[in-house]
Chain A
């Protein structure tokens, strides 16, 4: 057996795990590990400019590839800077392994230089964490960390490693475990057959069924099965912000996103439905609106890998716990073996009703306007990229516009922080996407507020040559905050206006990239074409858009699905059924 030091074991474990990239930032407590990185070539290290950037980049890498993202940071401030990105990954169930340096064992607990209780600080926002206490335990702990991060309901795992157990002078025999067995952790894989049978019965009997699918379908690689199920049964499907793309957004059976900024047809269909088939979705409050009025006429089937998601906020009738893919495969097999074939016209009346709602055209906006409308930019982005780009976003109005006006036909193409809503996510995430998909077009849709939260990663992107197209929808406002203030605080715009904005064009140029400022509507499409033609350059496009455009439809906090505020110029003002 080979003998390796702790620092070498960390890196060798990554190699044996098949890890290609580590996003990190060095410091005192991880110097031994960095020295081990220096001495090999297989695991490539990406030096970010801020540890938050490392976590978001690893996250973007994971979301776009399905492989776990890996982060390496030092103790103390390195670890605390990483926390926002760890929490972001946790809320969206993204597989990630974060290695943090810790002060040497003899001084743990003495308020040593750059000591924080990393395991304590991260506990509420990780799937699990470890403080490794012996060199001999590093390899097995790494194995466990990857196993936990990627199995069951995925999530980030932190491995905190004291500096002294990475000492290059202390070598121990190394063998990476082939597998790991944890008596306390046995995630459910396949669903209960009796439950799926019940579910099929309900679907057969339903008159107004709706599929409501979420990020679990993307994470569970069950996009194909979901699509097949919906097609076989002619079911209308609405997807959550996290699920977009699992079912093709351009398919006629897709009725758009649901929830706070969902489409009129999706929210109305949910409200009037008699059967909700929830697949890999967790009844988030942005989706349900007022709990008491949620889907008042519907029975609910819920497929989810996490038992704790079942009946957490909404009580369901038929829970099916397990991985989405095998469960959907099982349902498809059962459907095939049925005597009668499914009559596609059986829910014809329901479809007629849905088409009526769809005809409201809830996403119409002022197309005649001379000023650049944010929606228009996204539509042009869709056109220029043939709908095939990976699109990351930050958080705010621009995020909703991207989700609404760029229909995704494939999973893992739409990458945003849905659960935590982390401004600053978009740019480093786009960089991570580019590492995983070097030949793909990658766009980052952002706002002038969000982009300034992790702007420094433009420097990393130059160093590692990861060309991304930044679409800055610059409305000069913290737009989403301003919208809420307009609606609920009589337009008292308390600190939602960003004065003294930088010249983004010059800023991009200062970082060595291409900068553009677009002020006229007719320049939008040409600018995008020019930018995407510059294959090997990062281009920052600063679009000066309508300052006070709002995101519609909107279900205000605490309201029901059928109580939407519609765009002022829409055929329907406030709609109340």
Chain B
């Protein structure tokens, strides 16, 4: 019954607005898998994307409670429509043939780039869906020295959009 949802929120770009969102999740014991936020083209607005897991009822409540926050201007549950999701990861490995081969083998629709090579260490940039990232990182688990992920962002396809 519990399912993952990606919720995109347009938020007033005010100090404290992000704390309101984070505080809501801790106060009401909702879980956050990931949360990313940055200003939009309109500098008075931020766009926040959060991934949460819950039953339909819980997700409904989360959306209502988010909407109730004064600084939330608008939101959309991307999981309800045909949408696109991406996450970026940077990872550091020691240069070796296995990794080089793996990167080469990646299919065309996944993005993997060796971005830096310094003193025999590689920084690799990966872009894809969260599940794909999870799988790929698991497959090279033992090689990874360090990894950082941005958390998921998403956009609906076609005409629909989250704008004012």
Interface of B is mostly: helix
* Stretch from B11-19, B85-93, B98-106, B128-136 at the A interface: B11-19
Nearest residue, chain B, Cβ from A119: B16
Q: Is the CB of B164 within 8 A of A183?
A: yes
- Contacts A124-B27, A308-B64, A311-B60; A185 near B19 (Cβ below 8 A): no
In the A-B complex, the 6 residue pairs with the closest CB atoms? A308-B64, A184-B73, A128-B70, A308-B68, A124-B27, A307-B64
Task: Indicate if B39 sits at the interface (CB-CB under 8 A).
Answer: no
Q: Is the CB of B20 within 8 A of A123?
A: yes
The 8 A CB mask of A57-94 against B (1 = contact, 0 = none) is 00000000000000000000000000000000000000
Nearest residue, chain B, Cβ from A187: B68
Tell me, in angstroms, the Cα distance from A79 to B61 when the chains sit together: 31
Q: Is the CB of B23 within 8 A of A124?
A: yes
Chain B residues whose C-beta falls within 8 Å of the C-beta of A148 in the assembled complex = 70
- Shortest Cβ distance from A397 into chain B, in angstroms? 31
The 8 A CB mask of B37-61 against A (1 = contact, 0 = none) is 0000000000000000000010011
Tell me, in angstroms, the Cα distance from A185 to B68 when the chains sit together: 8
Nearest residue, chain A, Cβ from B17: A184
Interface residues of A in 302-317 (CB under 8 A from B): 306-308, 310-312, 315
The 8 Å CB contact of B57, one of A120, A308, A311, is: A311
Q: Is the CB of B61 within 8 A of A308?
A: yes
Interface size on B, residues (CB 8 A): 19
Q: Is the CB of B23 within 8 A of A123?
A: yes
- Shortest Cβ distance from B44 into chain A, in angstroms? 9
Tell me, in angstroms, the Cα distance from A315 to B57 when the chains sit together: 9
Interface residues of A in 102-159 (CB under 8 A from B): 119-120, 123-124, 127-129, 131, 148
Chain B residues whose C-beta falls within 8 Å of the C-beta of A500 in the assembled complex = none
Q: Is the CB of A131 within 8 A of B73?
A: no
Task: Indicate if B4 sits at the interface (CB-CB under 8 A).
Answer: no
Chain A residues whose C-beta falls within 8 Å of the C-beta of B16 in the assembled complex = 119, 123, 129, 131
Q: Is the CB of B15 within 8 A of A127?
A: no
Tell me, in angstroms, the Cα distance from A120 to B65 when the chains sit together: 18
Task: Indicate if A182 sits at the interface (CB-CB under 8 A).
Answer: yes
Q: Is the CB of B15 within 8 A of A131?
A: yes
Tell me, in angstroms, the Cα distance from A512 to B35 when the chains sit together: 59
Chain A residues whose C-beta falls within 8 Å of the C-beta of B73 in the assembled complex = 183-184
- Shortest Cβ distance from A301 into chain B, in angstroms? 19
Tell me, in angstroms, the Cα distance from A306 to B73 when the chains sit together: 16
Chain B residues whose C-beta falls within 8 Å of the C-beta of A120 in the assembled complex = 19
Task: Indicate if B143 sits at the interface (CB-CB under 8 A).
Answer: no
Q: Is the CB of A184 within 8 A of B72?
A: yes
Chain B residues whose C-beta falls within 8 Å of the C-beta of A128 in the assembled complex = 70
Chain B residues whose C-beta falls within 8 Å of the C-beta of A306 in the assembled complex = 68
Task: Indicate if B71 sits at the interface (CB-CB under 8 A).
Answer: yes
Nearest residue, chain A, Cβ from B11: A184
Using CB atoms and an 8 Å cutoff, list the residues of chain B in contact with chain A: 12, 15-16, 19-20, 23, 27, 57, 60-61, 64-65, 67-68, 70-73, 164
Tell me, in angstroms, the Cα distance from A124 to B70 when the chains sit together: 13
Chain A residues whose C-beta falls within 8 Å of the C-beta of B71 in the assembled complex = 184
Q: Is the CB of A308 within 8 A of B19?
A: no
Nearest residue, chain A, Cβ from B19: A123
Nearest residue, chain B, Cβ from A308: B64
The 8 Å CB contact of A307, one of B12, B57, B68, is: B68
Tell me, in angstroms, the Cα distance from A448 to B125 when the chains sit together: 68
- Shortest Cβ distance from A508 into chain B, in angstroms? 41
- Contacts A120-B19, A123-B20, A123-B23; A185 near B70 (Cβ below 8 A): yes
Chain A residues whose C-beta falls within 8 Å of the C-beta of B20 in the assembled complex = 123
The 8 Å CB contact of B70, one of A127, A310, A311, is: A127
Tell me, in angstroms, the Cα distance from A129 to B57 when the chains sit together: 28
Chain B residues whose C-beta falls within 8 Å of the C-beta of A183 in the assembled complex = 73, 164
- Subset of 6 A-B contacts with CB under 8 Å: A183-B164, A184-B12, A184-B73, A308-B68, A311-B60, A312-B61
Q: Is the CB of B23 within 8 A of A184?
A: no
Chain A residues whose C-beta falls within 8 Å of the C-beta of B12 in the assembled complex = 184
- Contacts A124-B27, A311-B57; A182 near B70 (Cβ below 8 A): yes
Nearest residue, chain A, Cβ from B23: A123
Chain A residues whose C-beta falls within 8 Å of the C-beta of B27 in the assembled complex = 124
Tell me, in angstroms, the Cα distance from A124 to B26 when the chains sit together: 10
- Shortest Cβ distance from A233 into chain B, in angstroms? 30
Chain A residues whose C-beta falls within 8 Å of the C-beta of B60 in the assembled complex = 311
Nearest residue, chain A, Cβ from B10: A184
Interface residues of A in 326-382 (CB under 8 A from B): none
Tell me, in angstroms, the Cα distance from A183 to B10 when the chains sit together: 11
Nearest residue, chain A, Cβ from B12: A184
Nearest residue, chain A, Cβ from B74: A184
Tell me, in angstroms, the Cα distance from A123 to B18 when the chains sit together: 12
Chain B residues whose C-beta falls within 8 Å of the C-beta of A310 in the assembled complex = 64
- Shortest Cβ distance from B6 into chain A, in angstroms? 21
- A129, A131, A148, A184 — most chain B CB neighbours (10 Å): A184
Add 20 more A-B contacts to A119-B16, A127-B70, A183-B73 (CB < 8 A): A120-B19, A123-B19, A123-B20, A123-B23, A124-B27, A129-B16, A131-B15, A182-B70, A184-B72, A184-B73, A185-B70, A306-B68, A307-B67, A307-B68, A308-B64, A308-B65, A308-B68, A311-B57, A311-B60, A312-B61
Tell me, in angstroms, the Cα distance from A150 to B55 when the chains sit together: 34
Tell me, in angstroms, the Cα distance from A72 to B15 when the chains sit together: 23
- Shortest Cβ distance from B113 into chain A, in angstroms? 39
Tell me, in angstroms, the Cα distance from A311 to B62 when the chains sit together: 12
Chain A residues whose C-beta falls within 8 Å of the C-beta of B68 in the assembled complex = 306-308
Nearest residue, chain B, Cβ from A307: B64
Chain B residues whose C-beta falls within 8 Å of the C-beta of A315 in the assembled complex = 57
Interface residues of A in 213-269 (CB under 8 A from B): none
- Shortest Cβ distance from B8 into chain A, in angstroms? 15
- Shortest Cβ distance from B71 into chain A, in angstroms? 6
- B16, B57, B72 — most chain A CB neighbours (10 Å): B16
Chain B residues whose C-beta falls within 8 Å of the C-beta of A307 in the assembled complex = 64, 67-68
Tell me, in angstroms, the Cα distance from A119 to B57 when the chains sit together: 30
Tell me, in angstroms, the Cα distance from A185 to B11 when the chains sit together: 12
Chain B residues whose C-beta falls within 8 Å of the C-beta of A184 in the assembled complex = 12, 70-73
Nearest residue, chain B, Cβ from A130: B16
Tell me, in angstroms, the Cα distance from A148 to B70 when the chains sit together: 9
- Shortest Cβ distance from A183 into chain B, in angstroms? 6
Tell me, in angstroms, the Cα distance from A299 to B15 when the chains sit together: 44
Chain A residues whose C-beta falls within 8 Å of the C-beta of B57 in the assembled complex = 311, 315
Tell me, in angstroms, the Cα distance from A310 to B67 when the chains sit together: 13
Tell me, in angstroms, the Cα distance from A131 to B12 when the chains sit together: 15
Chain B residues whose C-beta falls within 8 Å of the C-beta of A131 in the assembled complex = 15-16
Chain A residues whose C-beta falls within 8 Å of the C-beta of B72 in the assembled complex = 184
